[in-house]
Amino acid sequence: MNTEKLLGEMRRQLHEGGLHGCLLVRDLHTGEEVGIAPDTQLPSASLVKVPLALATAERIRRGELDGATSIDVRPGRTSTPGPTGLSRFRHPVRIAIDDLLYMSTCVSDGVAADVLFDLTPPAQVTDMLREFGLHGITVRHGLGQLSDTPLERFDASQAHLALSLAIDAGTGGRGHRVPQLDTTRASSGSARAYVELLQALWTPSAIHPEVAERVRALMAHNLLRHRLAPDFSSDASTWSSKTGTLLNLRHEIGVVEHSDGQSFAIAALTESLVPASAQPGADALMAQVARALRDHLRQR
């Protein structure tokens, strides 16, 4: 199948599955790539934890932070506990910066991320991305803001109302009545920008090799593996990634490394057009489309 025919078929499948998809797959050795709307800016949700990890690890390397420094974290930093992490703790905890880095990146712990953002504010994280020559990702706020959306204000039986608002209240310029979904107010990035970040972490770049290696190791131990991982993990490959989920957004970025030496950076950023919280079919569909794009590049 030629590239245009493949992309047309993938767009059809995404549309029929109720997804607006922005994807890019790049061969990290040849630079060849294939994508669908890869330059569209979308809110990043928890994908910002990768730039945060990069900035924190770099500041540790520079000696500006000590990874062994312990910080006291009290319960109640967020009124809506997440599915995992420190927001579920009932008692104060003392935890080192190195361990906050693990919790934020590998467990997608929003409270741990916000403690790290207290040390390295969003604007500083963005500035550090620019230092490394990465210009397509902007970090504008911490993670606590993501737990204060209409979904948290409605009763669970009315979740579809919050999701309908998320789907229908956007503008043609990527603005939105929900601030967390407005790309001019929320942390944002494109599939291409996140692939550029992945390439900078996996191949020689302005990022210090020790820092890049540390962020790669964190992404390799990502515990959330329900989205793209089923299509990219095997005995002959490794999948290192980070997910992002908010209202109707379902994202994942990662790198698949094959035992034959081939490596592909993948960014799949999607908006669901279906007002439902649990959509395992959408997760499976975005993985299938990402894999089809990877297979197309691999067979060239």
Per-residue pLDDT reduced to its tens digit, 237-269:
999 999 999 999 999 999 999 999 999 999 999
pLDDT, tens only, 50-64: 999 999 999 999 999
Average pLDDT for residues 220-235, to the nearest whole number? 95
DSSP output for 258-287: ETTS-EEEEEEEEEE-S--S--HHHHHHHH
Which of 47-56, 111-120, 141-150 comes out lowest in average pLDDT? 141-150
Q: pTM here?
A: 0.94
Give the CA-trace dihedral at 45, 46, 50, 51, to 10 degrees.
40
Whether 156 shows a pLDDT value over 70: the answer reads no
Closest CA to 14 of 292, 295, 296: 292
Which of 39-43, 146-150, 182-186 comes out lowest in average pLDDT? 146-150
| Cβ within 8 Å of residue 11, ≥6 positions away | 21, 36
Question: Cα–Cα distance between 274 and 263 in angstroms, integer?
Answer: 33
pLDDT for residue 47:
98
Whether 48 shows a pLDDT value over 80: the answer reads yes
pLDDT for residue 299:
87
Average pLDDT for residues 126-134, to the nearest whole number? 98
pLDDT-based confidence at 153, cuts 50/70/90? Answer: low
pLDDT for residue 63:
98
Neighbours of 77 (CB within 10 A): 18
Closest CA to 62 of 1, 103, 120: 120
Whether 9 shows a pLDDT value over 90: the answer reads yes
pLDDT for residue 77:
77
Q: From the CA atom positions of the chain, what is the Rg in Å?
A: 19
Whether 37 shows a pLDDT value over 90: the answer reads yes
pLDDT-based confidence at 157, cuts 50/70/90? Answer: low
Structure tokens at 84: 């995992």
Average pLDDT for residues 171-197, to the nearest whole number? 88
Q: Which residues of 5-22 are buried (b: 16+ CB within 10 A; e: fewer)?
A: ebbeebeebbeebbbbbb
Question: Cα–Cα distance between 194 and 167 in angstroms, integer?
Answer: 23
pLDDT for residue 162:
72
SS (H, E, C) 210-261: HHHHHHHHHHHCCCCCCCCHHHHCECCEEEEEEEEEECCEEEEEEEEEECCC
pLDDT for residue 155:
64
Q: Work out the mean pLDDT of the chain and round it to a whole number.
A: 92
Neighbours of 167 (CB within 10 A): 18
SS3 call for 35 = strand
Question: Cα–Cα distance between 248 and 165 in angstroms, integer?
Answer: 10
Question: Cα–Cα distance between 230 and 224 in angstroms, integer?
Answer: 11
Average pLDDT for residues 120-130, to the nearest whole number? 98
